[in-house]
Amino acid sequence: MIIAPSLLAADFGRFASETTRIEKAGADWLHLDIMDGHFVPNISFGPRVVKTIRPFAKLFFDTHLMCSRPEILLEPFAEAGVDQMNIHVELGEQVTSLIWKIRQLGKKVGLAINPPTAISHIQPYLGQIDSVLIMTVNPGFGGQEFIHETLPKIQQAHAWRREHKLSYRIGVDGGINFATAAECARAGADTFISGTSLFEQRSLKAAIAKMRKIADKNAVANGLDFNHQPLPTGHAGA
Ligand code: DX5
Ligand code: ZN
């Protein structure tokens, strides 16, 4: 089980020390939400910021590109030292070449899918990716409420993984708190992105430990033992 706090919910005035704090609190990954003001109606931060915080933790940097033109950002983020880049399946015919470019840069590939998009859209790519990122809110802002209608998509991604003997991770992103993490784990998720709910707790360390415990306890039986090779959680280097 991977617990990945989102930097979006951290203190924007102290990203460097927040990065260290997140690592010390026991996180597995750091989730970096990149918003371009076009694919989503909000702007967050870019490669320069990520490059600046990179030396402050050895954590696996998981980048979520909510961007209409991710092709212009792949190289800068690779140079900034991220470990994985998630692009959105809603980009349509560009997806194949984006996956290829991310691989060429030597990075892990994730494919994100928005709540209104049918899960069938990710099926053609499942053999080519390291992670599926099932959006459980409409992307753009932290602190939104979990959309329960996305749960069957987690189950489907999990069923396909077994059926085709694949090993991609199944991530959930948006409105993940202790209760919704349990529901997602029961549906087959193994990677939990969480911003607001983790950071609003008094102790981030205790919150991460609690979420991991809940995820473990509710994990689908045999959900992770079927030819599943978890990704390394540590940073592999820029
Ligand atoms: C939503 C982002 C999420 C978000 C999660 O656009 O992709 O990663 O930061 O934050 P919470 O947990 O606050 O929904
Ligand atoms: Zn995200």
pTM more than 0.85? yes
Does ligand 1 come within 6 angstroms of the Cβ of 138? Answer: no
Give residue 30's pLDDT: 99
Measured from the CA of 6, which atom of ligand 1 is nearest? Answer: 9
Does ligand 1 come within 6 angstroms of the Cβ of 153? Answer: no
| 113 strand-pairing partners | 134
Q: Residue 195 Cα, ligand 2 centroid: separation in angstroms?
A: 9
pLDDT, tens digit, 9 for 90 and up, residues 118-156: 999 999 999 999 999 999 999 999 999 999 999 999 999
Give residue 234's pLDDT: 60
Q: Residue 9 Cα, ligand 1 centroid: separation in angstroms?
A: 8
SS3 131: strand
Give residue 41's pLDDT: 98
Residue ranges in the chain whose pLDDT is less than 70? 221-238
Q: Are 198 and 204 in contact (CB under 8 A)?
A: yes
Residues with Cβ < 8 Å from 179, sequence gap 6 or more? none
Give residue 233's pLDDT: 53
